[in-house]
Structure 1
Amino acid sequence: MLYLDNLLLNENNEWRNWSGFMVAGTYEPTHEREYYAIRNAAALIDVSPLYKYDLLGQDAERLVNKIVTRNVKKCDLGQIMYSPWCDENGHMIDDGTIWRLAENHFRITAADPNLRWFEDCGFGLDCLVADVSNELAALALQGPNSRPILREVTTGIELENIGYYRLASTTIAGIPLTITRTGFTGDLGFELWFSPEYAERMWDVLMEVGYRYGLLPAGMVALDIARIEAGLLLIEVDYISSTKALIDSRKSTPFDAGLAWTVALDKGSFVGRKALRAEAARGNRWALVGLEIDWPVLESLFAVQDLPPLVAGRASREAVPVYNENGRQIGQATSRTFSPILKKYIALATVESEFAQEGFPLSIEVTVEFTRQQCPARVISIPFYDPVHKRK
C-alpha cells in the first residue's frame, strides 16, 4: 500500500512477503532503533496487508457469533473484541479482531484469507460478507508517544475518550478515517484505517508531526520482538491453521493456545462448540506458556566455546524442543527472543499441560557451535511485558 514511500525509506533494502505485499523487514541497517521507538517513543508500522471483512445485514450478529468463539452479543457499538475461530472439531482456523461498527455491521480483521469460510458459515442467513481488504490501508502508530502525536493531527475527538479496544471516527489533514485502540506490540498504540488513495499523504503527515516525538518507521523485525514480549500469538508460528496443518497433531484448539478466556461455551451454538465443550470437560493436553531461560547457564554453555551468548538480535521463529527435568521432550518453543527492555531471553512455548504451572523448571534446546545443548528455563506468566500505560 505504501510501497513507494517504503522503498525510499528502506535503507537496508530488506523486504518480506506479507499476503502478496512487500513490507519492510527493517528500514535502517539494524532494527534496534526501530524497536526502542516502539517502547520509548513511537513507531509507524504499515499493517495494510491484513485481511479485512465487513459483515452486514439483519443476521450479521448471528453470523459473527456462529463464526467466532467470543460472545459478540456483548460487543457494544464502537467496541472491538479479539477472538479465534475454529473448524467443527474445535481447531483454530485463524484469529483476529471483531469490530461493531453498527447494530448490523461488523468488521473482522484476519491474518489469512477467510472469505469462503465466512460465506459458507453464513449460508441461508441474511448477511452480506464483503472482502474490503483492498479498500482499507492501515497504519499502526505504536508507543508511549502515539497519543500526543495523534492529538496534534486529529480533529473532532478526544483521544483520551477512546478506551482500550474501542474505535472512533475522525479526520487527519482532511482525510476521513477510523481509529482503533489496538495493535500488535503490547504497548500504548492506535491503528488508523482509511482509503488507500490517502496512504502516502497520511504517512507523511504523521512522520512530519511525529519527528518531534521520536517517531520512526518500524519494520517486521522490531515488531516481532515486541509481539513476543507482549505474549501475542503469530499464526503459522505459534499455532498452525487447521486449514494448513498437514497432520492432526499440528492443529491447536483455543485451550491449547492459552485462549480459554475467549471461548464462550454458554453463548449457544457456534462452529466447534461441541468439540470444545468436550475438551473443556476432559481437560486439554497442551498449554501455551512463557519461558524465561537461565542466562548465567546460557552464558556458560557458550563460554566453553569462548563465545558470548549468540541469542541477542532478531527473534527466532524456529521451533526447538522443550524438556522436563528427566530429559523427556514435553513440547516446543515456537517464538524466542532476547528482550532488550527486560534484559532476558524469553520464549513462547507449547508444553504438556501438567508442566504449565508458573515456576515449573524445564529446559530448552540451544545450539552452541553446531552442538545441541539443554539450558534450564522456568515457566512464567505472559505477557512478559505489560506496561500500565497500554490501557490508560
Structure 2
Amino acid sequence: MMPPSDPYAGERLKHSHFHERQAAMNLRDAWSSWNGYKFADYYYDESYEYFCIRNTCGTYDICPMQKYMIEGPDALAMLNRMVTRDLRKLGVDRVTYVCWCTDSGRMIDDGTIFRLGEERFMLTCGSPSLAWLRKSSLGFEQLSITEYTEDFAALSLQGPTSFAVLKRMGLEAVGELKPFGIMHLPFNGSSLMISRTGFTGDLGYELWIEPSEALPLWDALYSAGEDYGIHPYGEAATNMARMEAAFIMPDMEFNEALKTINFEYDQTPLELNLGWLVDFKKPHFNGRAALLEQTKRGPKRMLVKLDIEGNKPADGSILYSNKRCSKEIGYVTSGMWSPAVKANIALAMVDTQALKGEIWAEVYYERELRHRHKVARCTLKDKPFWAPARARQTPPGDC
C-alpha cells in the first residue's frame, strides 16, 4: 500500500542558507516564521543574546528579508516616484533608509535602497512588496524588477567587536567603510558585498554573498570571532536593541496601510516622526499632496520617545494627561527596561495637542502571580536611547 500523501507538505517553512549552522546552535529549538522561512526567536537566551549585541558581537539571519533588484534607465525615476525621499541624492555604493505610501499618505512599508550602479538598485524590506513595485512601475518601460530574496545569502553582524572580527578575517579594508556605505571584497573565490548597515543602533555590518558561499562565510566568521564573543541572536534580542535605538517596527509602531482594515488605524510618516524622510522639493511622489496637507495642519498624533519612572515595562500601556487617568491621550507601542541605558524606555503614539502637558502611563505588571498596576510619570526624550559614538566613527576602532 502506498503511504498517504502529506497534506501539509506545501506549507513547510523554508530553511535559510545558514540554517544548518543555526539549527545546531539553537539549543532551545525556539523557532517562528518570517516570510515563509523558519526563523529563530532566540537560540539560548534572549538576554544573553542582547548582551552579545551590546558588549561583543552577534549574527542575525536576514535571508528572509525581501530583496528586489530594480534595473534599467527608468529605475531611478520609478523608485523616486514611489518613495518619499529624493533618491537623486543617493550615490553609487551607498544605502539609504526610505518609506513609501498610498496616495492618501498612509505608510505601506519602510526599508532600505542600495544603489549598486547608475541604473541598478536593490530594495530590501520586511514584507513582500513585488505587487506594489509592479504597480508603481506602470508607465516606466525601460526597467526590470526581479525578486532576489533567495538569490542572496545575507547575514547581519552587529556589536562593538564586529569590525575586529572582520579584520581578523582579512577584511581590513572595511575599516574605511562609512555608515551606509557599500564595499565589495573577494571571499573564497566569490565576491562579498559588505554594507555598514543594521537594525541595532550600534556598530555593525550586513554581509551579502551568493548562496553557495553561505556556510563557508559562516564558518570563517565564527572562526575569526571565537575570541570576540560572537553568537547568533534572534528576533527577541533584535527587538530589544532596536527599541533602544528608537527604530520603528511594523505591527508594533505602525500598521502596513495595505493590510489595515479600520480607517486611520494605519499611520503616515509624519505621525511616525519620519518627516525627515519626506522631501517636498522633489517632483511628485505617492502621497505627496496628502502629506503636504498634513504638514500644513499638523498630524493629530505623533510617535515619541518616553522615559517612564520606575522599572516596570509599560508595553501596551494607555497614556493619560493626569495622574487620575481621567483623560486618555495615547498608548505605548513598545516598552522595556533597558539594561544598557538603565532606564524604563518606551515608544508611544501621543495626541499632538497633549505633548506640551504632562504624560502618565498606567502600567500593569505581575508580582508572584498577583496582578498589580501603578501610574507612572513619563518624560519626553528627543534623542535615541542608545547611540554610541562607535556607530558613526570611521574607522570604528578595534575593540
Same fold (TM over 0.5): yes
Looking at structure 2, the residues matched to 198 and 350 of structure 1 have their Cα atoms a distance apart, in angstroms, of 43
**1: CA distance, partners of 2:260 / 2:56:** 39
Supply the AA of the counterpart residue of 2:377. P
Q: 1:361–1:379: 8 Å Cα contact kept in structure 2?
A: no
The residue that corresponds to 1:184 in the other structure is 199
From 95, 105, 110, give the equivalent of 2:125: 110
How big is the shift at 1:11? 0.8
Conserved 8 A contact 2:70-2:120: yes
Name the structure 2 match of 1:306: none
Aligned to 2:156: 140
Instruction: Name 2:273's counterpart in structure 1.
Output: 258
- 2:4 corresponds in structure 1 to none
The aligned residue for residue 351 of structure 1 is 350
Q: Which amino acid aligns with 2:153?
A: A
Q: Distance in 2 between matches of 1:134 and 1:154?
A: 27
| Match in the other structure for 1:337 | 336
What is the aligned counterpart of 2:361 among 348, 360, 364?
A: 364
**Gaps spanning 5+ residues in structure 2: where?**
1-15, 394-399
Find the aligned partners of 1:138 and 1:356 in 2 and give their Cα distance.
Answer: 41
Deviation at 1:319, TM superposition (A): 2.9
* Partner SS state of residue 109, structure 1: strand
Q: Compute the displacement of 1:372 (Å).
A: 4.4
Structure-1 separation of matches of 2:111 and 2:362:
31
Pairs within 5 Å for 1:1-392: 1=16, 2-28=18-44, 30-125=45-140, 126-155=142-171, 158-295=173-310, 309=312, 311=313, 319-325=316-322, 327=325, 328-356=327-355, 361-368=358-365, 369-392=370-393
Once the two structures are TM-superposed, the CA of residue 260 in structure 1 deviates from its matched residue by 0.3
8 A contact 1:25–1:220 mirrored in 2: yes
TM-score, normalisation: structure 2: 0.89
Conserved? CA contact 1:53–1:132, under 8 Å = yes
Supply the distance in 1 between the matched residues of 2:321 and 2:187 (Cα, whole angstroms).
Answer: 54
CA distance in 1, matches of 2:119, 2:355: 41
Distance 1:250 1:374 in 2: 26
When residues 124 and 98 of structure 1 are mapped into structure 2, their CA distance, relative to the original with a 3 A threshold, is same
The answer for the alignment partner of 2:12 in structure 1 is none
C-alpha distance in 2 between matches for 1:64 and 1:261 = 18
SS of equivalent residue, structure 1 residue 243: helix
RMSD after superposition: 1.6
**Whole-angstrom CA distance in 1 between matches of 2:188 and 2:375:** 55
Partner secondary structure for residue 265 of structure 1: coil
Deviations 1:292-313 (A, max 9, x none): 1111xx6xxxxxxxxxx5x4xx
| Structure 2 counterpart of 1:353, one-letter code | T
Aligned partner letter, 1:382: K
Q: 1:62 to 1:159 in 2, by over 3 A?
A: same
Deviations 1:34-86 (A, max 9, x none): 11111111111111110011110111100110111000000011111101100
Does structure 1 retain, via aligned residues, the 8 Å contact 2:317–2:364?
A: no
Per-residue deviation, 1:371: 4.5
CA distance in 2, matches of 1:378, 1:341: 18
Post-superposition offset of 1:244: 0.9
Question: In structure 2, the residue corresponding to 1:6 is in which secondary structure?
Answer: helix
Shift of 1:154: 4.3
Query: 2: CA distance between counterparts of 1:48 and 1:27?
Result: 17
In structure 2, the residue corresponding to 1:70 is in which secondary structure?
coil
What CA distance in whole angstroms lies between the structure 2 residues aligned with 1:266 and 1:365?
Answer: 42
CA-CA distance at 1:129 after TM superposition: 1.1
Aligned residues: 370
Deviations 1:75-134 (A, max 9, x none): 011111101100110000000001111111111101111111111111121211111111
Q: TM-score, normalised by structure 1?
A: 0.91
Q: Is the 8 A contact 1:154 1:172 kept in 2?
A: no
Deviations 1:168-203 (A, max 9, x none): 111233342211110000000000011222222211
Equivalent pairs: percent with the same residue?
Answer: 32
Deviation per residue, 1:199-240 (Å, 9 max, x gap) = 222111101110111111111111110000000000111100
After superposition, give the CA deviation of every residue in 1:254-293 in whole Å (9 maximum; x if it has no partner): 0000100000011010111111111111111111111111
Looking at structure 1, the residues matched to 216 and 355 of structure 2 have their Cα atoms a distance apart, in angstroms, of 48
CA distance in structure 1 between the partners assigned to 2:333 and 2:206 by the alignment? 27
- Counterpart CA distance in 1 for 2:318 and 2:264 is 16
Q: Which residue type is aligned with residue 251 of structure 2?
A: E
d(CA) in 1 for partners of 2:355, 2:211: 44
**CA distance, structure 2, for counterparts of residue 320 and residue 195 of structure 1:** 44
Amino acid in the other structure paired with 2:107:
M
The amino acid that maps onto 2:114 is W
How far apart, CA to CA, are the structure 2 residues paired with 1:339 and 1:172?
Answer: 38
